[in-house]
Homo-oligomer: A and B are copies of this chain.
Amino acid sequence: MEWMDGGSITTPEGFLAAGVACGIKASGRKDLALIVSELPCVAAATFTTNKVKAAHIVVCRENLRPQKATVRAIVVNSGNANCCTGKQGVEDARQMCEWTARELSAQRHLNIQPHEVLVASTGVIGVPLPMDKVKQGITMAVAHLSRQGGKEAAEAIMTTDTKPKFAAVRLELFGKVMHIGGIAKGAGMIAPNMATMLCFIGTDACIGRKALQSALRYAVERSFNSITVDGDTSTNDTVVLMANWMAGGSEIAEDSDAFLRFREALTALCQRLAKMIAADGEGATKLVEICVTGAESERDAKAVALTVANSLLVKTALFGNDPNWGRIAAAVGRAPARVKSETLAIRLGEFECFRRGEPVTFDEVAAHEWLKASREITLHIDLGIGAASWTVWTCDLSTEYVRFNAEYTT
């Protein structure tokens, strides 16, 4: 497996993309992205577990039903989440698929049905989509589709992200070169909007629907489901993975060696995109990796890591470059997991602070200087109970985060 410099969703064979500005964002920035595969794809997806779901999720679920089989395109708008918009919202999402299919058929002579188009939205909640603008955007995006359009599309799905997020890998299986490439957007808002995590991934590998879904679940669990910015789960979170088989070669059968290698590459890609999201959290000054070891189960390890990652007291201490390990101990103690103070050990980078229930003397000034100098830091938490581990990525919590999210804009 090898990273492709500057790679994105359009790195795998047969994928085209575009990102255009159609006026949904008042700022005039790009706000509509389109991804199209030249050949039909099998697709897999994961969606938010939030019980309040955006309209696009209803429509994606319909269009991903097995009997509808293939997917050809994804249309995404930013600047409006199309969530809590009632029945009209679902109709609007369906309309986006129809317009996209119609334009692709008209402009590109691709015979695409509306149910072969997936749709996603991100932005403000509770406001109806400006459908006239969306319609113009779709027409423009179809006209702009290109093999170089991946980064543009990554820009067009941004809300408060400070930079676009894209990456791609290549790997060889069965003597054939194949690629996995993706774009993502992070937890951000265009005030007063809801944070959303979106990711769209394409691959030219030959892999069936069931294996694809299994690989995606595994990868998402260890990447997007292991990052947090502020603990607020979005109503719109969506990850879609499309495979168009253009690399040729044998089919990657589930649980084969080739499958494990494909899954590993997919997981690495998702982790890279996920870490970009955490590092670009609103107002973040640091990417924080939280490694929990010695847990009774992976579930326990993840619960501890996420509780520490979402602790306001831990996050504000890190923003202040304060090696305040007591706050970490307190967060570990309230995690829904098996934890014992007597076996607990805590390390900030190389600074050991706590071991088996007793404080360890360390150079606090040096630890402060190390925190101050580091854009990426690791917290090690050993529960000293079992053999399971998990890693989670987050960012610090700054005054800028609060200022940003408190801004009045309605």
Contact = CB atoms under 8 A, between A and B. Distances in A.
B125 A405 contact: no
Given A52-B333, A235-B329, A326-B83, A406 B317 contact: yes
A344 B83 CA distance: 14
A332 interface: yes
B51 A341 contact: yes
A332 B194 CA distance: 13
Contacts of A125: 326-327, 329-330
Nearest to A283: B402
Copies of this subunit: 2
Contacts of A317: 192, 405-406
Contact of A232 (B191, B193, B311, B405): B311
A326 B81 contact: yes
A23 interface: no
Interface string A146-189: 00000000000000000000000000000000000000000001
A75 B311 CA distance: 30
B235 A333 contact: yes
Interface in A353-410: 353-354, 357-359, 364-365, 368, 397-399, 401-403, 405-410
A333 B86 contact: no
A150 to B, nearest CB: 29
A330 B410 contact: no
Interface in A224-238: 230-235
A410 B408 CA distance: 36
A1 interface: no
A206 interface: no
Interface of A: 49-53, 81, 83-87, 124-127, 189, 191-195, 230-235, 310-313, 316-317, 319-327, 329-334, 339-341, 344, 353-354, 357-359, 364-365, 368, 397-399, 401-403, 405-410
